[in-house]
Amino acid sequence: MDGLQISNLKTLREFMCKTQHKVYAEPGGPESYEAKMISELIREIDRLRPLGSDGKHGKLHTYYCQCDLTADERTDLYWSSITWEDVQ
Ligand SMILES: [Zn+2]
């Protein structure tokens, strides 16, 4: 992955959520610039390491989620990343 290297997305997301609670309690609340930036960061973390409706990452692996995948899981990831356009 190019750009920012983050060693633990799960920990970073937890930290960002705690920070979000603090920022929401400040003047400006959820409408403040800081609150919007934190929301964007959390969205980006969720794109790299998606969470299910139960709040768990489970098997929603991506190339960037940092899980220690088995060979089978890596193969599934590979095939699920191929789109129709790739095979035409
Ligand atoms: Zn994963």
Find the domain containing 64 and state its range.
9-87
pLDDT tens per residue, range 71-82 = 999 888 877 777
pTM: 0.77
**Could you tell me the distance, in angstroms and rounded to a whole number, from the CA of residue 77 to the centre of ligand 1?**
10
Answer whether residue 4 is part of any domain: no
Q: How many domains does the chain have?
A: 1
Answer whether residue 27 is part of any domain: yes
**Could you tell me the distance, in angstroms and rounded to a whole number, from the CA of residue 35 to the centre of ligand 1?**
27
Answer whether residue 41 is part of any domain: yes
**Could you tell me the distance, in angstroms and rounded to a whole number, from the CA of residue 65 to the centre of ligand 1?**
5
Tokens for 60, please give them: 């929603």
Query: Cβ distance 23 to 35 under 8 Å?
Result: yes
**Neighbouring residues of the ion ligand 1, judged by CB less than 5 Å:** 61, 65, 67
- What span, in angstroms and rounded, lies between the C-alpha atoms of 71 and 74? 5
DSSP symbol at 29: G
Give the amino acid at 12: L
pLDDT tens per residue, range 27-71 = 999 999 999 999 999 999 999 999 999 999 998 999 889 899 999
Q: Is 8 helix (H, G, I), strand (E, B) or coil?
A: coil
Query: Cβ distance 49 to 65 under 8 Å?
Result: yes
**Could you tell me the distance, in angstroms and rounded to a whole number, from the CA of residue 40 to the centre of ligand 1?**
20
**Could you tell me the distance, in angstroms and rounded to a whole number, from the CA of residue 46 to the centre of ligand 1?**
11
Answer whether residue 29 is part of any domain: yes
Answer whether residue 1 is part of any domain: no
Answer whether residue 3 is part of any domain: no
